[in-house]
Amino acid sequence: MNPITNPESTTNWYLFLSCLLFSIGVMGVLFRRNALIILMCIELMLNAVNLLLVSYSAYAGNTDGQTFVFFIMVVAAAEVAVGLALMVSIYRNIGSIDIQSLNKLKW
């Protein structure tokens, strides 16, 4: 039950899972029009990367990967705070969060 006994194949499965989660996140970013949900899908992408990093850290027997995940979490938290503030500001100015309404830079 311990995935550490055979690290290589375990890492492959995690690689697959991570790529799947990442592409689902990308799909969400492209698919949805609600800016808040896009933000959440970006969080999903970040988490996929985190997962991969932790799995490699376990494979290498090294805590460096986990430390890196730590800092990614820091950045994600800060980014969400600022992003949400931006969202609120946009809502106040335009009245909706729909990204289709942000099309003033048309040719």
Partner 1 sequence: MDNTMNLLNLITPSMMIPIFPLLGFLILSFLGKRLGAFSGWVASMAILGSFLCSLNIFLGLDGQQLNYTIFKWISAGDLQIEFGFLIDHLSIIMLLVVTGIGFLIHLYSMGYMHHDEGFTRFFSYLNLFIFFMLLLVMGNNYAVMFIGWEGVGLCSYLLIGFWFKNQAYNNAAKKAFIMNRIGDLGFLIGIFALVFHFGTLDFMDIQNQLVSFESNAPVLIFITLMLFIGATGKSAQLPLYTWLPDAMAGPTPVSALIHAATMVTAGIYMICRSNLLFALAPFTLHIILIVGIATSLFAAIIGIKQNDIKKILAYSTVSQLGLMFAAIGLGAFESSMLHVMTHAFFKALLFLGAGSVIHAMGGEQDIRKMGGLNKSIKLTFVTFLIATLAISGIFPFAGFFSKDEILAKAFEHNLLVWALLSISSMITAFYMFRLLFLVFYGEFRGTEEQYKHLHESPISMTLPLMVLAVLSAFGGFLGLPAVLSSTHQLSEFLSPVFMASKSLKVEAHALTHEQEWLLMGIATLAALVSIYYAFHLYMKKKVIPENEEALSGLSKWVANKFYVDEFYHKVIVNPMLILSDLLLVLIDKLVIDLLVNLTALIVDSTGRIYRLIQTGSTGFYLIAMVLSMVIVMFIQIIL
Partner 2 sequence: MEPSILFYLLSAMSVISALFVVFSRSPIYSVLSLIVCFFTIAGHYIMLNAQFLAIIHIIVYAGAIMVLMLFTVMLLNLNEDVSVHKFNITKLIAVITGGLLFLVILASVKSSTLLTYQAPPNLNIGNAQDIGMKLFTDYLLPFEISSVLFVSAMISAVLLAKKEVK
Q: Please give the residue ranges that form the binding site for partner 1 (CB under 8 A).
A: 26, 29-30, 33, 99-100, 102-107
Report the partner that residue 82 touches, choosing among partner 2, partner 1, none (CB closer than 5 to 8 A by kind): partner 2
Task: Tell how far CA 80 is from the center of its chain.
Answer: 11
Residue 72 makes contact with partner 2 by CB under 8 A: no
Which CB atom, from 77 or from 105, has the smaller least distance to partner 1?
105
| Both tokens assigned to 74 | 């820091």
Residue 3: name the closest of 51, 45, 68, 37 by CA: 51
Does 82 engage in binding with partner 2 (CB under 8 A)? Answer: yes
